[in-house]
Amino acid sequence: MRYRVLGGTGIQVSVHCLGTMMFGAVGNPDHDDCVRIVHAALDQGVNFVDTADMYSAGESEVIVGKALRGRRDDVVLATKVHFPMGEGPNRGGNSRRWIVREVEESLRRLGTDWIDLYQVHRPDHTTDVEETLGALTDLVRAGKIRAFGCSTFPAEEIVEAHHVAERRALGRFRTEQPPYSILARGIEAAVLPVCQRYGMGVLVWSPLASGFLSGRYRQGRPVDLTAGRPALTPARFDPALPGNAAKYAAVESLAALAEEVGCGLPELAVAFTVAHPAVTSAIIGPRTMEQLEGLLKGATLTLDDAVLDRIDEIVPPGTNLYQPDGVWSPPVLTDPALRRRPLPDRAAA
């Protein structure tokens, strides 16, 4: 396993990062099995583990904590904060009040005294970014976290955060964790260049495009929309919907290319993401040991320029063939009142 520096922090992380979203009730509820998966990844040279407080309502962090007992010093541990954790108006978001409280809960669940990378899971338009950066900077000074970053932030929000950090002499986001795959290349246009401009590390999630590049969903084959990922978002997988035609066609072309290269479609998909110069690590999120072994098998795969050119022909750079799950939408797009003048003021004369 190769290692890259994480956003100028000097911390060396493996190019494959073990994601644990599927640990717990949402995916694999067998704690012992999940612990074995973590240990197997570490034994293969993975030293980077990513989780979040909201994964299975904290259960994922508990499992990761169990797995890292006795091995904590060898692991770069990342977790996230933002999404609601229980009932109440102040049990989520990016406020100082919530971040300072929730980091203690994550430390308790993880069974550790420090978090290497603490990430803001999504933007929060109700909280001034200075408030968020101030709280995170204080946590670094207190020794509870080593560095902090953001996740699924649009380019303009990243730029604003860096400007605020500079003006107010606060710590800055060292990393960004965006969705990125062959089928969702939108971040190539602005997010990745901005991260390069500010020297940020990039941990990409969903390199298999929510399972679309796993090889399970192919053109002309029936899809069970009542099980697995299709049950969560059937409209994304239903081959009868016209909007999915381009995705299924791209998958067929990519599968043929993978066969020419001599690898599986998942290996091709992950190798594509880590070939981008802005990307530090790709998060692989296995639910089973078999899935982990299959993903790690492709760690040595190198895609040459000819293969990357073929991928560009199938899905042009900067193109999204689908909208990744959980991508934050600015309030100006979700609230019509923010983009409409009062009725008496709308006419030009």
For the packed helices 31-43 and 289-297, what is the interaxial angle rounded to 10 degrees? 20
Beta pairing partners, 202:
176
**Torsion angle of the four alpha carbons 322, 190, 311, 275, in this order, in degrees rounded to the nearest 10:** -120
Residue 313 structure tokens: 């022909």
- Are 318 and 189 contacting, i.e. CB atoms less than 8 angstroms apart? yes
Specify whether the backbone of 18 is left (phi greater than 0), alpha (psi in -120 to 50) or beta. beta
Residues annotated as catalytic are 55
Among candidate residues 67, 59, 56, the one with its CA nearest the CA of residue 18: 67
Q: How far does the chain reach from its first CA to its final CA, in angstroms?
A: 66
Say if CB 81 and CB 336 are below 8 A apart: no
> Strand pairing of 175-177 and 145-151?
parallel
**For the packed helices 245-261 and 265-274, what is the interaxial angle rounded to 10 degrees?**
90
Classify burial at 348, counting beta carbons within 10 Å of its beta carbon; exposed 0-12, middle 13-18, buried 19 or more. Answer: exposed
What gap in Å lies between CA 240 and CA 204, rounded to an integer?
30
> Could you give the CA distance from residue 231 to residue 11 in angstroms, rounded to a whole number?
39
Write a three-state SS string for 154-222.
Answer: CHHHHHHHHHHHHHHCCCCCCEEECECECCECHHHCCHHHHHHHCCCEEEEECCCCCCCCCCCCCCCCC
Alpha-carbon gap, residue 107 to 119, rounded angstroms: 14
270: tokens are 């992950």
